[in-house]
Amino acid sequence: MKKIFIVLLMSLVLTSISLPALAATATLSLTAGKTNYKVGDVFKVSININSGGNPLQVVRAKVSYPADLLQAQGFTLGSLFPQKSPGEIIGGGTLYVGGYRIGDGTSSNGALGTATFKVLKDGKATLALIAGSRMITAEPKDIYSGGNSISLTLGVVEKPKEEANPAKPEEKIILASPVVSSATAQEEGWFKVNSVTLNWTKPANALGYVTKLSADTLDDIGEVVTTKDNSITYTDVEDGIWIFQLKAKYPTGFSEIAYYTIKIDTTVPLAMASSIEAQIESENKNNYQIFFNTTDALSGIKSYQIKFDDNQFKEATSPYLLTDDETQAEIVTIKAIDNATNEITAVLPIADYIKQQENALWQLRQEKIALFDIQANAAKRSGLEFYLALSVIALIFITIIIWLIIKKKK
């Protein structure tokens, strides 16, 4: 009975120790609408959050993909972490994206966001969550414990095995897909207009076209001809990543679907945080640095510019070290520009701060000079007192000698 009690007690202790460790983990996962895509297809991959019941403040996902097979076209944050983290990377085989919350964290599960890809050529593509992903609590503590990978088949990867006596294949009539273009919204960039005009080539014998603008390629485009023209204009398109789908109708059927990605961002970046700080280089000089930062939820920050008083803007990075001439300015204006060319500015008065710091530095120098004078005067007094004491001792010594001589003569 005693042994049973000890075993039960140890089990309870081990369980109580292990439970917090198990709770303090969270994971990410990738999902796609399907596993097979053709060259030219545009599709979305969702990055999903499993918080493990832990309130999260920041989530960042780092995904690898084959850049020779897939083109990453953009990333849209979900509602769980609506503020875009800085340092976003989209391209070159790496997708590094993230978001954060202002205020309390959340333990809800859901999508961090969706990434949009375009198929460039046939092959086997593996998308994987890799080292560098983060899931951070308010403490802060990174509790990310891992993520998955997904494999996609792009086009025809493996040739079918040849039969001994293959049947003569039926002659296939190729129905050409139109080629889509736009003078107002090229696929490679972001644009800050809510209207877009799309044009496409007009294949011979085409009777009309089926068109659809959607946020997801999984939406059924249908077979109802929507236009016989080879252009279309959409107005009042909301901010985000949109996919235009088009197929041509022929007397014998429809062409394959052609895709075109549109990325719209008409919203300026978030309000900028900026500050100036003094750093003492020596007792005779202060260095001044300006710090600034902001984020942009959709297209991301492209660059910062800075100007002093009424001078011209110039490219800058944070922290920015002021030159001696720039410390004479009254105000600094900092501009943040996102990838859609939306701008936001912040004005930072610097004259009073620099004057205060220079006065403080001057006061420090005066205090050091005064202290040096005090020490020098003290040293002088000490030297004089030493010589006076030595003179007194010498006088006493001489007096004693004279007294001894006089006494001896008597």
Same-domain status, 133 and 43: yes
Q: Is residue 377 part of a domain?
A: no
Q: Is residue 207 part of a domain?
A: yes
Same-domain status, 295 and 338: yes
Confidence (pLDDT) at 50? 96
CATH number for the domain spanning 190: value is 2.60.40.10
Q: Is residue 404 part of a domain?
A: no
**Highest-pLDDT range among 50-54, 366-370, 376-380:** 50-54
Same-domain status, 149 and 45: yes
Q: Is residue 321 part of a domain?
A: yes
CATH number for the domain spanning 55: value is 2.60.40.680
Confidence (pLDDT) at 336? 97
Same-domain status, 288 and 257: no
Same-domain status, 225 and 301: no
- Which residue in 122, 134, 137, 9 sits closest to 69, CA to CA? 122
Quote the strand ranges of 251-361, DSSP E: 253-254, 258-264, 273-282, 285-293, 301-308, 314-316, 320-321, 331-338, 343-349
CB 154 within 8 A of CB 39: yes
Distance of CA 323 to the CA centre of its chain: 29
Average pLDDT, the chain: 85
Structural domain total, the chain: 3
Same-domain status, 197 and 259: yes
How far is it, in rounded angstroms, from Cα 256 to Cα 101?
42
Q: Is residue 51 part of a domain?
A: yes
**pLDDT class for 358, splitting at 50, 70, 90?**
confident
How far is it, in rounded angstroms, from Cα 53 to Cα 118?
35
Q: Is residue 259 part of a domain?
A: yes
**Highest-pLDDT range among 34-38, 162-166, 340-344:** 340-344
Percentage of the chain with pLDDT > 70? 82
Q: Is residue 248 part of a domain?
A: yes
Contacts of 133 (CB under 8 A, 6+ apart): 28, 60, 61, 62, 144, 147
Of 308, 329, 355, which residue constitutes the final position of a domain?
355
Residue 78 has pLDDT above 50, yes or no: yes
Residue 114 has pLDDT above 60, yes or no: yes
Residue 370 has pLDDT above 80, yes or no: no
- Which residue in 150, 115, 146, 114 sits closest to 133, CA to CA? 146
Cis peptide before 166 (omega within 30 of 0): no
Predicted structure pTM score: 0.68
Of 264, 297, 327, which residue constitutes the final position of a domain?
264
Of 264, 297, 332, which residue constitutes the final position of a domain?
264
Contacts of 396 (CB under 8 A, 6+ apart): none
The three-point CA angle 393-394-399 to 5° equals 100
Residue 211 has pLDDT above 60, yes or no: yes
Same-domain status, 315 and 295: yes
Same-domain status, 212 and 185: yes
Percentage of the chain with pLDDT > 90? 61
Domain that holds residue 55: 26-154
Q: Is residue 405 part of a domain?
A: no
Same-domain status, 78 and 134: yes
Query: What mean pLDDT is predicted for residues 29-53?
Result: 93
Confidence (pLDDT) at 138? 86
Query: What mean pLDDT is predicted for residues 324-332?
Result: 95
Q: Which stretch of 105-119, 225-239, 350-364 has the lowest confidence by average pLDDT?
A: 350-364
Both tokens assigned to 322 = 């002021």
Same-domain status, 213 and 234: yes
Same-domain status, 286 and 232: no
Distance of CA 230 to the CA centre of its chain: 39
Same-domain status, 33 and 146: yes
Residue identified by tokens 């961090």 is: 112
How far is it, in rounded angstroms, from Cα 318 to Cα 385?
59
CB 232 within 8 A of CB 309: no
